[in-house]
């Protein structure tokens, strides 16, 4: 095979050590380094003395990140490769052999690096992913509050739509303070909930023990802490999103895509669509395209492949929101597919469509164009008429078609 890169390095990265193998015209050399910062600096200096222009490593957890950051500063092209794509042949396996195998593949140009965004986008992505984790933790804490209330036979969730709304929060705080009278607790209801006062009296008639009051107090404090941290992250993300305000406004025109969803999409894929060959390539990278599995002429399970989990889950949420909209193309697409293939497949299909829309909106810098709920029917109008006539004629009915004026 032809040598594509003359000075390369293969890195077998672990938590406590790194095995590095350099291949240059002067020969092969292998060394082992630690993973502390001073050890990584020694590794980079060694690569510079060897005049290595390219280095490759497996994407093993978060351990590749500090190495990549240093190589990026020294302008050494670093490739983070999917471990499945460079799996060694069966047989003797050691860290040294793995490093040699990676270096050999890189030398002949047989490795393809994963998409690694620039440092600014990586920092923004970490902030948004952490905010999502806090939002999910808050939802879990609210579920725990509801579980404690159910244990005390307080059926607040059966009457109020939100346990931690203004009314629900006031009632829970009163119960923690020692109030047990259902009449007094129901008087804390506000606005529309006051019309359900009779149901509230019955729902708030429970038996709450001291340990449950202690747990509810701790859970409310935890929710307040999470709300404050989420607010701080929102402010920091808003500052970092200022250069992308135009893109955010364009994405916000898609049904089901709100501000936070648009921020997550931009953090995960960036705003420059030239790095993706096509919309289909982007959807495949996100894990939203059907798999291809065929053997002996038979099409086997075509479940979606693995991809960017954070982006995929965000788009699935947006697809579910779009399915609930009225008189939109995405809602019509969801119900059309769900009737034949089920709700889950329809949701993934709509998520695929949303990501395709995102690609073209960011590439062309134009807002979303609504096709309408009858797009498919209008597109296949002649086919539907032809099939309907054929079916009626098979039943012995004579048909005369008159096209109505527009």
Q: SS in 3 state form for 292-330?
A: CCEECCEECCCCCCCCCHHHHHHHHHHHHHHHCCCCCHH
pLDDT at residue 397 greater than cutoff 90: no
* Dist. CA 352–CA 165, nearest whole Å: 34
Alpha helices in 192-342 (DSSP H): 197-203, 210-240, 245-251, 259-269, 279-286, 309-323, 329-341
**Do 346 and 338 meet the contact criterion of CB atoms below 8 Å apart?**
yes
**Do 6 and 109 meet the contact criterion of CB atoms below 8 Å apart?**
no
* Dist. CA 174–CA 167, nearest whole Å: 11
Cα–Cα distance list, 347 to 253, 263, 276, 316 (Å): 19, 21, 24, 6
* Dist. CA 401–CA 83, nearest whole Å: 61
Element (H, E) at 38: helix 37-49
User: At the topology level of CATH, where does 8-107 sit?
Assistant: Nucleotidyltransferase; domain 5 (3.30.420)
* Dist. CA 51–CA 54, nearest whole Å: 9
Least confident of 46-50, 262-266, 299-303, 390-394: 299-303
**Do 30 and 123 meet the contact criterion of CB atoms below 8 Å apart?**
no
- Between these two residues, 87 and 116, which has the higher pLDDT value? 116
pLDDT range class, residue 89, cuts 50, 70, 90? low
**Do 323 and 331 meet the contact criterion of CB atoms below 8 Å apart?**
yes
How many C-beta neighbours within 10 Å does residue 234 have?
A: 15
Q: What local confidence, expressed as pLDDT, does residue 406 receive?
A: 46
Q: What local confidence, expressed as pLDDT, does residue 148 receive?
A: 93
Output the average pLDDT for the chain: 89
Let me know the angle formed at the C-alpha of 282 by 276 and 284, rounded to the nearest 5 degrees. 135
pLDDT at residue 405 greater than cutoff 70: no
Residue 12, φ and ψ in degrees, nearest 5: -100, 105
- Between these two residues, 402 and 189, which has the higher pLDDT value? 189
* Dist. CA 188–CA 298, nearest whole Å: 64
- Give the residue-averaged pLDDT of 221-247: 95
pLDDT tens profile 14-40 = 999 999 999 999 899 999 999 999 999
* Dist. CA 7–CA 22, nearest whole Å: 7
Least confident of 92-96, 224-228, 285-289, 400-404: 400-404
Residue 35, φ and ψ in degrees, nearest 5: -115, 5
Q: What local confidence, expressed as pLDDT, does residue 90 receive?
A: 67
Q: What local confidence, expressed as pLDDT, does residue 19 receive?
A: 94
Least confident of 81-95, 100-114, 222-236: 81-95
* Dist. CA 21–CA 130, nearest whole Å: 35
Q: What local confidence, expressed as pLDDT, does residue 296 receive?
A: 76
**Do 171 and 179 meet the contact criterion of CB atoms below 8 Å apart?**
no
* Dist. CA 21–CA 11, nearest whole Å: 7
pLDDT at residue 333 greater than cutoff 60: yes
* Dist. CA 292–CA 304, nearest whole Å: 9
- Between these two residues, 381 and 123, which has the higher pLDDT value? 123
Q: What local confidence, expressed as pLDDT, does residue 88 receive?
A: 66
* Dist. CA 353–CA 334, nearest whole Å: 10
pLDDT tens profile 159-186 = 888 889 899 999 999 999 988 888 888 8
* Dist. CA 15–CA 64, nearest whole Å: 9
Indicate the DSSP class of residue 10.
E
pLDDT at residue 326 greater than cutoff 60: yes
* Percent of the chain clearing pLDDT 70 (strictly above): 97
CA-atom Rg of the chain in angstroms: 29
pLDDT tens profile 265-283 = 999 999 899 889 999 999 9
* Dist. CA 52–CA 71, nearest whole Å: 11
339 Cβ contact list (under 8 Å, min separation 6): none
């Amino acid at each position: 095979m032809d040598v594509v890169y003359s000075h390369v390095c293969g890195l077998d990265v672990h938590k406590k050590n790194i095995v590095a193998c350099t291949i240059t015209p002067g020969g092969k050399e292998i060394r082992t380094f630690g993973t502390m910062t001073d050890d990584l600096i020694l590794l980079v200096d060694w690569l510079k003395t060897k005049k290595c222009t390219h280095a490759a490593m497996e994407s093993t957890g978060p351990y590749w990140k500090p190495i990549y950051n240093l190589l990026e500063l020294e302008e050494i092209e670093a490739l983070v490769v999917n471990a499945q794509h460079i799996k060694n042949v069966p047989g003797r396996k050691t860290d040294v052999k793995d490093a040699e195998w990676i270096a050999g593949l890189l030398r002949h140009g047989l490795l393809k690096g994963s998409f690694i965004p620039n440092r600014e986008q990586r920092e923004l992505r970490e902030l948004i992913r952490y905010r999502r984790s806090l939002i999910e933790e808050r939802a879990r804490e609210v579920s725990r509050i509801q579980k404690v209330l159910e244990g005390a036979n307080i059926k607040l969730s059966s009457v109020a739509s939100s346990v931690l709304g203004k009314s629900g929060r006031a009632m829970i705080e009163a119960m923690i303070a020692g109030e047990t009278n259902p009449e007094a607790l129901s008087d804390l209801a506000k606005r529309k909930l006051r019309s359900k006062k009779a149901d509230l009296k019955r729902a708030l008639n429970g038996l709450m023990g001291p340990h449950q009051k202690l747990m509810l107090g701790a859970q409310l404090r935890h929710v307040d802490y999470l709300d404050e941290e989420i607010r701080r992250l929102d402010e920091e993300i808003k500052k970092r999103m200022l250069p992308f305000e135009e893109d955010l406004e364009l994405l916000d025109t898609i049904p089901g895509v709100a501000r936070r969803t648009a921020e997550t999409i931009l953090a995960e894929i960036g705003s420059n669509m030239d790095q993706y060959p096509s919309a289909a390539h982007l959807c495949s990278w996100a894990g939203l395209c059907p798999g291809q599995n065929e053997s002996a002429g038979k099409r086997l399970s075509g479940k979606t492949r693995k991809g960017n989990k954070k982006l995929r889950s965000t788009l699935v949420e947006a697809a579910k929101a779009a399915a609930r909209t009225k008189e939109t193309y995405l809602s019509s697409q969801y119900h059309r597919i769900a009737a034949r293939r089920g709700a889950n497949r329809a949701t993934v299909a709509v998520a695929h469509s949303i990501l395709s829309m995102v690609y073209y909106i960011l590439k062309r810098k134009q807002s979303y164009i609504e096709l309408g709920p009858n797009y498919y029917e209008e597109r296949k109008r002649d086919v539907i008429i032809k099939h309907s006539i054929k079916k009626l004629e098979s039943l012995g009915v004579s048909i005369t078609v008159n096209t109505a004026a527009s």
